[in-house]
Amino acid sequence: MSNPPAIFSIIADIVAALGTPSTYTVYDGPQPTSANPTKFILVGSDGETASSGRWTTDWLAMGSRADRKETGEIACLVQSWDGSTDNVASKRADVQSMLADLAAAAYSVADASVEAYWGLTDGTELEQEQTQEGLTVRAKVTIRYELARA
């Protein structure tokens, strides 16, 4: 494929834009099973399914291999857990702060040379779960993008 889908580089660019924050961990894809961080962002995983995202490509000119419009979605998960069974407001605040960082990273990787729209979907799902291991707050979010390029 001479003109691969942009979703692959977009995921890597968002991970790079997030960097290595001191207060949480960033993963490119699913969290390793051996890891046990208390606060993290998964870029390219919702933490449950194997689907990292999806894209469609519309070729803008008949016979052209370069002119295309790509629309895609990237699954992400933001989670805060610390083993305690209280202070849900603090965990929600952690998730809210990490979501803001994720949104800023997504917007920062938009390439000025292409028409692009970046946004966190309205379908963000907030989960608050109490188990014997403690209270977990997580948000599942999808980053949508659209770009056209020659």
Domains by residue range for the chain, with CATH: 7-149 (3.30.2000.30)
Question: What pLDDT shows up at residue 115?
Answer: 47
For helices 7-18 and 88-108, the axis angle rounded to 10 degrees is: 120
Exposed, middle or buried, 97 (CB in 10 Å: 0-12/13-18/19+)?
middle
Q: What average pLDDT does the structure give for the chain?
A: 83
If we measure between CA atoms, which residue out of 54, 50, 68, 74 comes closest to residue 140? 74
CA dist 137 and 129 (Å) reads 6
* Gap between the Cα atoms of 115 and 86, Å rounded: 45
Q: Say which residue the tokens 């001191």 belong to.
A: 22
CA distance 122 to 69: 22
Residue 80, pLDDT score: 95
Dihedral sign from CA coordinates of 67, 4, 109, 127: positive
The pLDDT value recorded for residue 48 is 87
pLDDT per position in the chain (150 positions), as tens? 456 788 888 899 999 999 999 999 999 999 887 777 899 999 999 988 888 888 988 877 666 555 778 888 899 999 999 888 888 999 999 999 999 999 888 888 876 444 455 556 656 788 999 888 889 999 999 888 888 766
Q: Give pLDDT tens digits for 114-138.
A: 445 555 665 678 899 988 888 999 9
Residue 36 pLDDT? 79
